[in-house]
A and B are shown apart, each in its own frame.
Chain A
């Protein structure tokens, strides 16, 4: 495979917004047939650079060459003609339309004024088979999985003749299996001569699929490195600009009295079947219980039921000695629950409201934030300012809307609000999803700090690393049941992986013993 030829060269790209330099003399070259990772923290300037490449923004200065020719990408259409396609992080699909209709959208083929769906469908089918995407062109988008929807987005760019594909944080919404499959698809694409830019802040993914990696920090390109000879630690340090600790430092847990007691809990999901099936477990003060499992095995429903957002159909839940079974969210909150919700923008924040209002979202009705039904904005402001300072929420002021903050800062604001109320139990659902290494490190530290202060923490995450590093005990959920609870320091990745796939604990232990060693051996050779 000839990897020397550059398909894209971005030289000295600078983009200024007023006095702010989002991109400062950035260099990036993409070779034919490579997967080139673009690594940087939130706000480092990755998106600005890619928006320039896809024609949404024009650079203040700098040169772009596509296949050796100097070009001016003045609009997305120009980018399209140059064969540059973007697979967006948030899918741009019409749910009620079929795959074919979605892909054709904006590029409708017509025959005598009628839309020629048949030939488009055939073409899409061929493309899908060629790249092993396994997409069924006639299914409706609302009926296919998130992973499939992403493939539809990939097909969309291919259908429009893209040779250079930009993947913007493609794995954020995928399950581990889907991520594995996506990696395969990306390799297949490059084998066929496509070139890929992968925007991400997940280091293991970069190690897994990409050939080279360009690191961007505060708008400047720091370096472009060969991934095979660079460690994750080196990548992380380059991205953050200081030494990052991956291994979470923590003392052994010192569990005390039971804070959360769940007995035989069953929860139905919206379509009426049991998503959580007679689950029982406890979380003690001073420990972090992790819930591992593949997305869709009842974790979300369990947490919704614990926090009062859905009703359970049977079973009991006790929080700090109070029966909170099927109580209203406010009653549960007042009984001592802090909750970092899985979907921070849908549940955690009211985006158009100001940061100070969001920080008071759980306490606005209490003194001193209100008095006899009247809000006391003075106190609300003082409180918000203190938490913004203490939790290092980066915002120009507390009067900015929550929508104007970056994902990491939105999450910090939620954590500030929930932790500051001093809850007996904190439920953290996917607390670091979509965040960069610096923010993840910070959040993990906070969770452990909370534990060390004698609080109970329930951590639900689809990231195995996170569950393993942060938790003291790990409950694995499969098909609505907890199939095993193991101690974090007595398990390994392959045992958990097997449990997550529904393999019973005895068998998983046996299998993983051999595999664990095998894996270690492989690791040490690389």
Chain B
């Protein structure tokens, strides 16, 4: 009976994100109809566009790779009770520092250069996020405000570095050498030379490591405990300061690693940015859609990858403008954000069923 019950709550949990997605698509369809477009053709273009060719499947997975990292980064801080809205900035400093490192030591052996470049990206992202963690731990500053501010600092700092340090007043840096490339020959061949790279496998490994860390280590236990009840955690001898800084550090490390993989794997360079990279904020949506569960995040980032790449087919094949495609994606994010409304109805339904068929009454 207990197993069935747990199974049921699990299904209910899954129902919320699934309904968010469905509502997002329905809302997008209504909007398309309202403006005279055919949503069926548009969605068909989106889906078949991606899945008809190995190249676009590869590209969708490549896009999903970065989102997996930023999503996991957001989720980790979220589990500890912090809202790290600075994922975008942390990814950006990770990106620029990985490129910088790769350009500075082009002659290192490939395995070493790739490892070190990614490591530098992760550490810089981690330190960047730790600023907010440190201020929160010792001065009680809101991590939301500080990370928002650090986002803009990261943006301007990156652009300064690109123009004045990494190039001579240019808008892009040189491309990194062969030894810093993440591309894998057979994977590129398989996906008809898409930019899908080693990062995808690193992402899968990190999903598993994240799960092990959160559920099987004492450090992960502390982070979960502090997030669920900081008072009881302090009572039990856990250090609030340590856990705030640690969770922000790890959150930033994941974002920075995501940025580094995005930079080395997708572009091989960095160029001046007009705004914060999408992988940051979309990562937050991915984490919320995935219910902060690593497997959930993995699959929701694939969904976002498909949406992102698939949206590109809507203008040509269905005549739907780019903006409309963006609105569909945004609508899904909106319904994810508004999931408490959906949760309300799901819970209500579950409560009714429970009352009708429960075997465990207790003092209700």
A→B interface (CB under 8 Å): 15-22, 42-48, 51, 57, 307, 309, 328-331, 333, 339, 341, 346-353, 357, 361-362, 364-365, 370, 373-375, 377, 396-397, 406
Contact = CB atoms under 8 A, between A and B. Distances in A.
Interface in B236-277: 236-239
B278 interface: no
Contacts of A396: 2, 360
By CB atoms of chain A within 10 A, which of B225, B229, B239, B360 has the most? B229
B363 A44 contact: yes
Interface string B341-364: 000000000000001011111111
Contacts of B231: 346-347
Contacts of B362: 22, 43, 406
B216 A374 contact: yes
Contacts of B217: 373-375
21 contacts: A17-B359, A17-B361, A18-B360, A20-B360, A51-B364, A309-B234, A328-B237, A329-B235, A330-B237, A347-B231, A348-B235, A349-B232, A350-B229, A351-B228, A352-B229, A364-B221, A370-B218, A373-B218, A374-B218, A375-B218, A396-B2
Contacts of B221: 357, 364, 375
Given A365-B218, A370-B218, A374-B216, A352 B228 contact: yes
Nearest to A348: B232
A20 B236 contact: no
B219 interface: yes
Contacts of B357: 18
B233 interface: yes
A46 B363 CA distance: 7
A222 to B, nearest CB: 17
Interface residues of B, number: 28
Interface of B: 2, 216-219, 221, 224-225, 228-229, 231-239, 355, 357-364
Nearest to B363: A43
A47 B358 contact: no
A341 B233 CA distance: 13
B235 A309 contact: yes
B108 to A, nearest CB: 31
Given A350-B225, A353-B228, A357-B221, A48 B236 contact: no
A361 B361 contact: no
A22 B364 CA distance: 8
A364 B232 CA distance: 14
Contact of B355 (A17, A20, A44, A347): A17
A403 to B, nearest CB: 11
A18 B363 CA distance: 14
A353 B238 CA distance: 16
A332 to B, nearest CB: 8
Nearest to A304: B235
By CB atoms of chain A within 10 A, which of B228, B233, B239, B361 has the most? B361
Contacts of A309: 234-235
A374 B214 CA distance: 10
Given A17-B361, A352-B229, 19 more contacts: A15-B361, A18-B360, A19-B359, A20-B359, A21-B361, A42-B363, A328-B239, A329-B234, A329-B237, A339-B235, A350-B229, A357-B221, A373-B219, A375-B216, A375-B221, A377-B216, A396-B360, A397-B2, A406-B363
Given A374-B216, A375-B221, A350 B232 contact: yes
Closest 4 CB pairs of A and B: A330-B237, A17-B361, A18-B359, A20-B361
Contacts of A16: 361
Contacts of B237: 328-331, 333, 362
Contacts of B225: 350, 353, 361
A159 to B, nearest CB: 28
Nearest to B212: A374
A461 B238 CA distance: 27
A45 B358 contact: no
Nearest to A347: B235
Contacts of B233: 350
B216 to A, nearest CB: 6
Contacts of B359: 17-20
A474 to B, nearest CB: 26
B364 A48 contact: yes
Contacts of B224: 353
B303 to A, nearest CB: 27
Nearest to B362: A43
Contacts of B363: 22, 42-48, 406
Contacts of A346: 229, 231-232
B237 to A, nearest CB: 3
A17 B364 contact: yes
B360 A350 contact: no
Given A46-B363, A375-B217, A18 B2 contact: no
By CB atoms of chain A within 10 A, which of B216, B231, B235, B360 has the most? B235
Given A357-B221, A374-B218, A350 B228 contact: yes
Nearest to A46: B363
A377 B212 CA distance: 13
Contacts of A18: 357-361
A109 to B, nearest CB: 29
A17 B358 contact: yes
Contacts of A307: 235
Contacts of B216: 374-375, 377
Contacts of A21: 361
Nearest to B229: A350
A18 B355 CA distance: 8
A375 B212 CA distance: 10
B138 to A, nearest CB: 15
Nearest to A339: B235
B255 to A, nearest CB: 23
Nearest to A352: B228
A293 to B, nearest CB: 22
Nearest to B219: A373
A57 B357 CA distance: 14
A406 B156 CA distance: 55
Contacts of B239: 328, 330
By CB atoms of chain A within 10 A, which of B216, B237, B360 has the most? B237
A202 to B, nearest CB: 17
A42 B217 CA distance: 37
Contacts of B218: 364-365, 370, 373-375
A21 B359 CA distance: 9
B236 A361 contact: yes
B358 A341 contact: no
